[in-house]
A and B are shown apart, each in its own frame.
Chain A
Amino acid sequence: MRIVNHPILTFPKRDMVTFTLNGQTIEGIAGEPIAAALHAADVKVLRHSHGRHRPRGLFCAIGNCSSCLMTVDKIPNVRVCTEPLRAGMVVETQEGKGKIV
């Protein structure tokens, strides 16, 4: 969900773009981190761990912890907390270490 009313902050309306998550179309704001767009769409599971396939989500949101690695445009291990969203991106929930072609 996005914040609508806030006592201190204003979030001006910005242009929405579409991208896909596992083939499903989602809207987000161009330039915001992919993880922010996914959270706004209530998507929290970003990958599954390589050992026990446990669901993993966002933890630090500033590029420190590597909890949020996803496959973006076929590139695995992208930190979606800092990677800016662009129209038409193909985002996939990452399984394990991802496939390095």
Chain B
Amino acid sequence: MITTEILVIGAGPAGLMAAIHAAEAGAKVLLVERADRLGGQLIKQTHKFFGSKAEFAGERGMDIAEKLINQSSDISGITIWKNAVVLGIYPDGVVTISYEGAFCTARPKKIIIATGASEKTMAFPNNDLPGIYGAGAVQTLMNVHGVIPAKRILMIGAGNIGVIVAYQLLQAGVKVAGIVEAAPQVGGYRVHAAKLQRHGVPIYTSHSIQSAHGDSCLEGVTISKLDEQWQPIDGSEQYIAVDGLCLAVGLSPLTELLWQAGCEMKFAAELGGYVPLRDANMKTSHENIYVAGDVSGVEEASAAMVEGKLAGLYVASVLGHKKDSFTKEFQTAKSQLSALRSGPASVKICTGLSKVVLEEVG
């Protein structure tokens, strides 16, 4: 049995920040990561981040990952386990973990769950053909492993991920046949959409995919135009020959451990699905379980980092590790989060949050 003060589950942007800030305050942290490297999905983000300087604006996601990973390795209060999958959280406080293939148990005082999210798919005929990928999968293949997923790709979804990954496909030398978006306008950052248009990539707004075609692998896709009620217009079908289809249609939080531990959950479509109820300090309905990042509602990585910082600082303080600068740092992080959520693009996020964030306690 391993004993630690804080167990942080997941070493993406939220988990790394939580571990760093809790350990800096003086807490002993065990940081477990299921993959064989730290950084979560930051490692494949080759684009520069928005936000303010405090959230590393202007830096590429992969460079932010490197900074946070180095920082977490330099702090003696953090023990890092890679290739470590958390299996369950039990009522007596014991957490079971498969670490490098061995069965381990830990008994932390507090747990911060930062497991992130997984990509959604879409219902259409032949949506299981090889050659149809989540947008994140394509980023992983290209930006982490240096492998091109297909020769010519159609992107579904013109939100931030759709436009960013479409541009990254061009950078990797893949032809982008177009971007299909059901809404009448592009949802992603203008700057990215404009880059694509300069490269002659057509953006099909008010369009949706009807079906995919192919024998053993994807060979083409039929799209059609949508009317004002978002219904396909008969006769508007067009066939696009592609060997790759990329779905950028959102993410849903990876909440299995929260359900299993008995945290109270609520459906908030704006946040990607079921998320845990929590207070403004990221504490769930479970006395010892906190959350940070996409598992508590899908947002940008910048917000995940700030949530991680909040959770890390707060949990450490609950355990008696309160820095002199705690109040100032904590309030600054809260203002950062409000600033990140103040734009018109964040209205949806705020609506979702209003359903699941309980009144601040204490």
A interface residues (Cβ-Cβ under 8 A, vs B): 1-9, 11, 32-33, 36, 39-40, 44-46, 49, 54-65, 67, 81-82, 84
Contact = CB atoms under 8 A, between A and B. Distances in A.
B147 interface: yes
A32 B350 CA distance: 40
11 contacts: A6-B173, A8-B60, A9-B146, A32-B145, A57-B129, A57-B131, A59-B121, A60-B136, A61-B134, A61-B136, A67-B128
Contacts of B319: none
A64 B121 contact: no
A17 B254 CA distance: 35
A7 to B, nearest CB: 5
A90 B158 CA distance: 40
A8 B128 contact: no
Contacts of A58: 130, 133, 137, 141
Interface stretch (B34-42, B106-114, B293-301): B34-42
Nearest to A10: B146
A9 B47 CA distance: 11
B172 A6 contact: yes
A41 to B, nearest CB: 10
Interface residues of B, number: 34
B118 interface: yes
A7 B60 CA distance: 13
Contact of B172 (A3, A46, A65, A84): A3
Contacts of B129: 55, 57
Given A49-B128, A56-B128, A64 B119 contact: yes
B133 A39 contact: no
B134 A59 contact: yes
Nearest to A62: B140
B236 to A, nearest CB: 28
Tell me what chain A mostly uses at the interface: helix, strand, loop, or mixed: loop
A59 B41 contact: no
Nearest to B138: A61
Interface of B: 34-36, 41, 46, 60, 118-119, 121, 128-134, 136-138, 140-143, 145-149, 171-173, 216-217, 254
A56 B138 CA distance: 16
A62 B131 contact: no
Nearest to A52: B128
Contacts of B60: 8
Contacts of A39: 141, 147-149
Contacts of B134: 59-61, 65
Given A44-B131, A49-B128, A57-B130, A3 B173 contact: yes
A57 B134 CA distance: 11
A56 B130 CA distance: 5
B130 A36 contact: no
Interface centre among B35, B46, B118, B130 (most CB of A within 10 A): B130
A59 B148 contact: no
Given A9-B46, A11-B146, A61 B130 contact: no
B318 to A, nearest CB: 31
A1 B148 contact: yes
Contacts of A57: 129-132, 217
Interface centre among A11, A39, A57 (most CB of B within 10 A): A57
A33 B130 CA distance: 17
A2 B119 contact: no
B217 A44 contact: yes
A64 B254 contact: yes
Contacts of A63: 34-35
